[in-house]
Amino acid sequence: MKIVLSFDSFKGNLSAREVCEIVRDGILSVRSDVETVILPMADGGEGTAVAMMSALGGE
């Protein structure tokens, strides 16, 4: 099974990538056979540049 994790940030608390990684860790703690793909999202507000760089492999 493959699960795509695509979350926006939790404004002021967690980046989109951090949310995706936390959810991934929770899934893998109960189903280690699941393949996960992390694709952070943004709605045009804060975190948009970070999500774009992550998606495109930028720095």
Residues of the chain with pLDDT under 50: none
pLDDT in tens, 48-59: 777 777 777 777
- Domain residue limits at 12: 2-56
**How many domains, in total, are found in the chain?**
1
CB distance 18 to 52 below 8 Å: no
Tokens of 26: 């929770």
Question: Is the pTM of the predicted complex or chain greater than 0.85?
Answer: no
